[in-house]
Every structure is written in structure tokens, then in C-alpha cells.
Structure 1
Amino acid sequence: MLDFHGKNQPQQEADRPARAREILAILSQTYPDAGTALRFETPFQLLVAAMLSAQTTDRQVNKITERLFKRYREPRDFARLNPEELAREIKGCGLYKNKSRNIIATSRILVEKYNSQVPRTLGELELLPGVGRKTANVVLNVAFGQPTLPVDTHVFRVSHRLGLARSKTPEKTEEELLAIIPEYARRAAHHQLIAHGRTICTARRPRCNACPVAHLCPGRENKKDPPQNGGNGN
């Protein structure tokens, strides 16, 4: 069975690690300063910001946390709140009522069980209310420098378009990426794939003619830039 670039399936599978290395080498040159857009000072503040970011842009989260972290900085500060109080503070983000309850519950667990420290293992983080695998991996990657590769919507979209993954879920996509991306490159790869998804390989208006890895993209022959109307696709 022929697939990408006229190659058969086994050959394509064998080529994926090499293609991944080549793609990431180019993306690292294209986005040398790629990093999280969330603003924070402590691992706990990053955890809160990451929890707020579900179905909300990083820009909006930063607006909320800019004032939020001036009033509440540590787990004990949030643990004292009731859900209605915190909900008023974070009303500008999606699902704010659920997030309020989860942030307070998580804060109380951190105070009572972890001496107000954010745990450094995936298993412990995932047990916290409102903390899924992506959020946990973001904290481990950004706050603690661990070689995790969180799969958000940008990483999922870009990795699939580039033929680096095929799975239908973020969890399985993460497994595929971890299998072909060396450990030393994973932290940076997460941010570089996000940067590429935000600037070039956007969801609705991918700018394939401006893409530095277009020659490595399986579907490049069928892709054309849509007419430009002044939007940036973000």
C-alpha cells in the first residue's frame, strides 16, 4: 500500500524518526526562542494558569492572572476561598465555575498533603482535581524541566499534518511522538510545534507556501494557501 510520497507503509514508518529529527531541526532554527506564553512566577502559579487555559486563550489567561496573582499567590491563599469568590475573579475564562471549584480543591490538597508544594510526578499531578494529562505535562515540562511532550490542539494538529502521528486521541499521539522524538529534544519540540501551529500551520488558514518544513509535509502537493484577507490565522 502506497502512502506519503509514494512510499509503502513499512518504509514510511521506518522514515518517521529521521523525518522527525529533520523537521525539529528546522523548527528549532525557525523558533529558537519558543516557550510558554503563560505568565507565572512559581510552579503553583503555572499550575493555576494551565488549569485556567482550557478552552481559553493564553492571552486571556494572562489578563486574568495578572490581577489574580496580585491578590492570591500561594496554595493557602486559594484554599481559603469559596468557589463563588474565585469564580468572580476568573469569570473571563471558559468553564470558570468548574475551574474555580477545581483550583480551590487542588490548593487544599497541596496545603494538606504536599506542604503547599506542587508534586513533580505525572501520577501525583493527575490525581489533583481538574488536572489532566496535558496540564500535568505542561507543569513538568515548563516548571520542572522534565522531558515531557504535552499534546494540546496545536501539537495534535501539526504532528498529524506532518505525518508524525496518526492516533485519534492526544494520549496515543503523545505515545507516538515520544517514540520518535529523542528525550533531549522533547521539551523544545513541544514549544516549537505550538509556535508553528500558531504562526504557520494554523487550523483554518495554514500558510503552506511560507512553511519551512513544507518539503517534509506528506500532504504538501495537495495544499495551497487560501487567498489572504489581512488575517493572521491566530
Structure 2
Amino acid sequence: MTVRTPDTLTGDYLDAWATASLAGLRRHRAEINRLNVFPIPDSDTGTNMAATMESAVTRLREVQGEAQGEAQGETGAHAAVEVAAALAAGAVAGARGNSGMVLSQILRAVADTAALSATGELSARTVPVMLARAGELVLDALSDPVEGTIVTVLRAAAEGARDAGAADRASLSDVVTAARDAAVAALAQTTGQLAALSDAGVVDAGGRGLVVILQSLVDALETEPGSADSADSA
């Protein structure tokens, strides 16, 4: 069911985003694996990203289970912070491979930004901060960052979100959609940025996984959390 898009990413919407991302990464796992020709052609980027997101969602479900009987299910500031923290903890603990490590740092950035937000939620103003923070964490975590990979796609997403957020009355949906669109454009350019990708005629596998995750966020904002359609897109 399509609903009015929210003004902030509450706990319910963060949950829906993670759930949709897991479904999307599973659905595109084989495609992303086939794209994996750099840095090592071991065809496991899709598998590793899906496994890492599964670990994140599993940890969230564990935390929610422990919270039964309390204020579980509320969409207030604390709920958003707790959802983000659980996702980050699960991803960091269960990160698989280089791509999983990168994904864990993106979720860590979500948690960091939610924790520093005045409301504990992510708004149109804070999403660009979140994506920029993700880029910083990923660069810090990689021993040898290379352009033409998820590093480039993530930076483009952050810049797209920042530019959209600078407009008057930009909505959360506007900012997230701009981030997705910028990532899609940057992903298409990766083929010409790395010889290995150019030789194989493919885009970067990790960058493709990031596009799936950003598309999942766009879709999550357009769908009522908990509905049958909330995890069936991307």
C-alpha cells in the first residue's frame, strides 16, 4: 500500500529499509556475484553483502525479541537509535569479506548519525551527513581505496543527497531519491574507471550492491512499514 512518505527515518522505517535491503541483496545475489571481477574475481560480493545484511537483521530481531513487553514498536527517537545500533552491531559482528566490511561501515554510519541527531531520527538534513560519514568510515577501513569501486559510488550518493538537501523545502524522499540517482549514474561510469571492469564489460559489484540498498530505502519510504509490499521491491 502506498502511503505519504515520512519526514524522518523512524525506527519502523529503518527496520523496513533493512528488511527490504536484505530481500534485494538476496534477489540480486547471483547478478552481483557475476559482476565481481575486482579486486579478486572470486564471485562472492553478492553472497557476502547478503550475509552481512542478514546478520544485521538477525541482531535487530534479537533485540526486538528481548524488548517484548516494553516499548517495542514505537516510532520515537529512542526506537530509531536502537534499531540503527542493532543493525550496525549485527553487521560489524557478521561482516563477510571486503564488501561485507564496507556494508558494516555504512550501517555504522547510520547508527552514528542517528545517535548524534537532535531527535534520534534521520531527516532530509541528516541523510547527507550519514552518507558522508559512511564514506569516511569506509575509507578509513580500507587499506587501499580504489576509485571506480563502491568508494566512488558512495561518494556520489553523498554528493547527490547534499545537493538535493540544499534546496528549499527538500523532503526526505527528495534527498534519498537524489542519492539513489547519483549512485546509479556513478555506477554506470565505473566500467570505464578500472581496467578489470572495462575488460569484462561490467560495473563494480560492490557499487551495484549499494544501489540495491539505496533503492530499498527509496522503496521503504513509499511503503507502509510491515505491509506485504514493504520487503518486496528493490
TM-score, normalization: structure 1? Answer: 0.34
Q: Relative contact order (alpha carbons < 8 A, sep ≥ 6): 1 or 2 greater?
A: 2
Larger radius of gyration: 1
